[in-house]
Structure formats: structure tokens, C-alpha cells
Structure 1
Amino acid sequence: MTDTTLISIIIPAYNEELRIPPYLRRLSSYCASAGAGLRFEIIVVDDGSSDNTAGIAAACPGVRVIRLEKNTGKGYAVSRGLLEAAGEVRLFLDADGSVAPEEIGRNLHYIFEDGYHIFAGSRVLKGRGCRLKAKWYRRVMGWMFNLVLHSALPLKVRDTQCGFKMFRAAAVGPLFGNGCLCGYAFDIEILLKAQYAGYRIKEGPVSWEHIGGSKVDLLADSLLLLADIFRLRKKYARRQLRAGA
């Protein structure tokens, strides 16, 4: 880590004009008080919102906005932001503020000092000072989803869907530059690609709190996720067959 290390924070957002303002204020406050040696850029990728998400984000000091003309999906929005960022470490956080900004500083050492290429936040793993605030049915659905996911794919990361992941800049191009799923299953594909490519991945506990106002339809989006899981199973099974040929 150099004396002037730049950390890029990517926030994908779709119709988040109500939830994103307080989170951007929290992020800006955290970045201003993070200490010497760290600089931050905050990039909001507005995924074709029909509300004033882009305008509200652009009005926040120090926030850069990338405006996508149409709603393409979280995966594309995250990819676009990470690829256009300039930081030595690039991370993404969900716009709802479910993960506190302080988790950034708590986990940077995995990248800078411990030699990992990727840090994946986890709501499953237990850690000192980490807490999970979620309703019981979300916990049950999460458990069922993970059971299906890890039965279908050989992933080492237990919680693929936590909306907090950090990457060394050198890993971003190879993982995101050739395209990936645009929807919510993009996390799964990126972690699979990273695992097969031999990147060092650290999964660590983070505090997470469910924030109301989500536009995710638990049932419908879970079914779409399941369909993507089996598409990925076929895709990476073919890749393994070609590699072994």
C-alpha cells in the first residue's frame, strides 16, 4: 500500500432516490475520517432508473455518477463501475446501506497485507462484533438457496450474494472485462471465474442489516437465480471438459 492509495467504491443503483441519500452521506463521512494514506472515489452507477437517483447522487459532493440509458441489471452496472474506476482496490456495496462503510477499513488488510486478490463479505460466517439483522424467512430462504447452489456448483465461498466484495485492481479486468451475467447471479459467476483462475479469495464475516424498501421479489428473483445457477453449471461443466480434452 502506497502513501496515497486510492480506494474505489462502486454503488449500483436502480430507483434508489429514497434509500441512497443517507448511505452516501454515511460513506462520505467515513471516507473523510478514514485516516492518512487513503483516498477514496465514490462511483454511483445508475442502472437506467426512472426516478431521480442519478440527480440526487450527482448532487452529493465527491460522488461521480455513471448513467446507463436502460436498466440492464446489477451485474452489468457493477462491471461498468469497476472497469471505469481507478483505485488500487475496487469494491462494490449495495445502495441500501445494508453493510456499514466501516466494514471497508476492517477488511482492507486482507488485500494489502495478507495477499488476497478478492475479499467476499459473508453474512453466514460468525465474527467478533459482527451481527446479522434479517427476518426469519429471509434466513430460511438464504439457507435453502445456499444448499441448492453448493449442490450444483463447486464454490468455496459460502455466501455468494452478500453485496460487499473487494478486488485488487489487477483482477478486475480478467474477471469483468469479458462479460458476465447481468442479473443477480453475476456474483456467482465472478467467484467461479476467480476460483478457476486461481485467484486467492478470502471470505470474512461482516455486519449486515436488512433495509426496507427493496425492489427484490424474493420468490420471482429466487427462481431467476436458480435458473442462472443451472445455466452456469452447464457452462462451466463444458469448460472443464474442454480443459481436460
Structure 2
Amino acid sequence: MTDVDAHAPLPRSLTRPPVELELIIPAFNERERLPATVAAALGFLARRPWSSAVVVVDNNSVDGTPDCVDRFASSAMGRSVGFHVIGCGDRGKGAAVRRGIETSTARFIGFADADNATPIETLDPVMVLLRAGHGAVIASRHAPGAHLAVEQPRLRRGGGALFRALAHLTLPDIADTQCGFKFFPGPLAREIVRDCRVDGFAFDVELLAHVVRAGHDVVEVPVEWTDQEGSTFSARRDGLRSMTDLLRLSLAR
């Protein structure tokens, strides 16, 4: 039996047509929140001069998530913005985003949460910074100038503070590693994601750590962020795993 090279390029049949910007939206059981987010992204991108596409990565949803965005796929013909739905059999946000990046051929690529908590208009300054040559451009709720329009519940805020403290062991110069809105030059993202192993919510920290270790910078863009109900993050299911992943990443520095 011949060993498969894990770093070999994917077959062309598994990749999407090249565009300047590709937006990945990982989705696990997001039937209620996803349609509005996709509609907002498609509407915004249609008014921008960049060639672009929106890619929903369904992460083994059991609530019919792919079906709720079928209407966007069926109306894709003749629209200036591409729309794709792909699957990811491995569970976890990190696994879903990694799948989206690996199958992309875009010049710039990034991901946003399905809840649309970060305004899609943030892409305007993001694209300016990406074209200027920065290694990663990320939305930040804690950079100077950021504003929390609607805060998370107190328990979530406490968990977030602990997460940030542990994340700073690996990335001491980044104020907010977890705001779900991050963009990269496509070639860089595809290169570094090959060495990412975290499938869960600490994936963002691992990805940014690889950017920094590769000698690139990370720019934080302050945003007005709004907490949205219906998060699929479970403190019991995901919290301990995320903390363990963060500690492992800090030891790998």
C-alpha cells in the first residue's frame, strides 16, 4: 500500500474556482441563525469590486443546516458572488475552518461565525490591510476603539477572561484571539493550516501562532460587536477541551 502524502495538494476536483476573497462560515446546527448571516454576506459582497465567494462548511449538523441555505445555492447562477456548501466529517470549528481553507484557491481567505456578531462591513478595512501585505487581519473586541454593543452573559464573560489569560501564554501581544472574524493571504493560510491539529475552539490560537512563528504580523481591527443568542459552544463539552488545547499550545512555544 502506498502512503498518502498529507501535505500533497488536494485534487483539483475538490477545490473551488479562484476568487480574490473567500469567506468561510463554519456551521454546526445553525439552521436558525445562518440564513440571515449568509444573506448579509452575499448582499455586502455583491456591492464590492472584489471577486468573491461565501462557503458554508457544514460540521455534521443534525438540524437540517444545509437545507436552510439551499435557496442561496439555487439562485447562484447569474449572481456575482459565488456560494458553496461543503461538508466536514471531523467534529469541531477548527476542523471545519481547516477544511474550508484547504479546499480554497482564493487570493485572500478568512472565516466568520454563523451568528454575524461582527459586522460584515468590517471586511472593508480588512481588505485594505490584507492588500498592504499583513499576515493576518483579525477583528478585535478588546483593541483600543472596540465597542461591545451587547455583552455576553456574565458566566460566558468569566470563561472568556480565563481563556484570554491562557491564550496570552502563547500570543502575549494579541488582545483578542477569539473574535470569530479572521482573514489571511490565501497562500499563507493554506501553508500553515497543514500543521494545525486543533479541531476545537482553540484552533484560532493555533492558527495565529503559526502565522507569528512564520515571521508574519497580526493586525487587530477594533469592531462593534454584538453577542447573539444561540451559541453552540458548550462550557461542559467544549470548555475543558479548549483549556487543555491552550495549555498544550503554550508548551509548544
TM-score (norm 1): 0.85
Maintained 8 Å contact 1:13/1:53: yes
1:157 aligns with 2:167: no
Maintained 8 Å contact 1:120/1:164: yes
Question: Unmatched 5+ residue regions in structure 1?
Answer: 238-245
Q: Distance in 2 between matches of 1:16 and 1:161?
A: 19
- SS of the residue corresponding to residue 177 of structure 1 reads helix
> What pairs with 1:57-206 in structure 2 (closer than 5 Å)?
57-60=69-72, 61-62=75-76, 63-68=83-88, 70-113=89-132, 115-127=133-145, 130-135=147-152, 137=154, 138-150=156-168, 152-206=169-223
| Higher mean C-alpha displacement, 218-227 vs 86-95 | 218-227
Maintained 8 Å contact 1:42/1:64: yes
Q: Distance in 2 between matches of 1:15 and 1:154?
A: 30
> Which residue identity is paired with 1:210?
D
Aligned to 1:240: none
Maintained 8 Å contact 2:200/2:238: no
C-alpha RMSD of the superposition? 2.0
Please state how far the C-alpha of 1:182 moved relative to its aligned partner.
0.6
Q: Name the CA shift for 1:7/1:72 in 2 (closer, same or farther; >3 Å).
A: same
1:18 to 32, 37, 45: 32
Maintained 8 Å contact 1:155/1:191: no
Cα deviations by residue, 1:27-63 (Å, 9 ceiling, x for unpaired): 11111112x3x11101000011112111222321332
Question: Unmatched 5+ residue regions in structure 2?
Answer: 1-17, 77-82
> Which residue identity is paired with 1:55?
D
Please state how far the C-alpha of 1:143 moved relative to its aligned partner.
2.4
Q: Name the CA shift for 1:211/1:136 in 2 (closer, same or farther; >3 Å).
A: closer
Identity, in percent, stands at 29
